Amino acid sequence: MNRLEGKVALVTGGSMGIGRAIVDRFAAEGAKMVISCDINPCEFEQENVRGEILNVTDREGIKALVKKIVEEFGTIDILVNNAGITQDAPFVRMSEAQWDAVININLKGVFNVTQAVAPVMTKHKKGSIITLSSVVGLYGNIGQTNYAATKAGVIAMSNTWKKELARKGAQIRVNCIAPGFIQSPMTDKLSEKAVEGILSGVPLQRMGTKEDVANTALFLASDESSYITGAVIPVSGGLSF
């Protein structure tokens, strides 16, 4: 039996990279419908995947989309908060605009979308909320004060929501995934020396793939993780700073 049979999922930032891999994995596991939301339009071949344009800073747009999904499918079983950006700079030279842009999408955006979806899950007393954090949110990283703050912040919010949303017997689970160095077109451009430097701190001696992250999201979305909430699962090959 497919692991997400009959489930309705909403994935932000689902048009490319890790988000696209999660959308594809959920669809392959029999989800009734996977709604992939992104600021840019995207086409999907699967019949059980739909692309929607959404800006996670647009609270009214989020409310309208959630209402539309519920009217058509009755509920939202799974939410994956994946949308995010980086605007890196050394702390002392980071502009207020760089700080605000990353905070608004990576942190407030997660707040906005989850606040709109949570009442739907509360009504049905079940659901899985999965937010993409990062090892940078656990350990920090040079040049990423804004990004680190957001990725640590979503962990703190999730630990609060796991308590608030599970009241009155509701089986709403709230977890985070913390990817490490994941292979991407950007990392493919790195020199061999740069890659060796990265892998020197990774016990498994390889970069992760977007499918590694998608498989973890699938586990957290499925009933196999029914007694897991408040977890932060590193998908990092054992990376430590």
The domain segmentation of the chain, as residue ranges, is: 8-234
Q: Which residues are catalytic?
A: 147
pLDDT, the chain, mean: 96
**126-132 and 171-179 as β-strands: parallel, antiparallel, unpaired?**
parallel
The pLDDT assigned to 164 comes to 98
How far, in Å, CA of 183 to CA of 180, rounded?
10
The yes-or-no verdict on residue 3 having pLDDT over 80 is yes
Confidence of residue 190 (pLDDT cuts 50, 70, 90): confident
Confidence of residue 53 (pLDDT cuts 50, 70, 90): very high
The pLDDT assigned to 186 comes to 64
Mean pLDDT score, 151-177: 97
Half-sphere exposure of 13 (CA within 13 A, CB side): 18
The type of residue at 113 is V
Mean pLDDT score, 58-66: 98
Helices (H), the chain: 17-28, 59-73, 96-102, 109-124, 135-139, 145-164, 185-188, 192-199, 210-221
- To the question of domain 8-234 being in CATH 3.40.50.720, the answer is yes
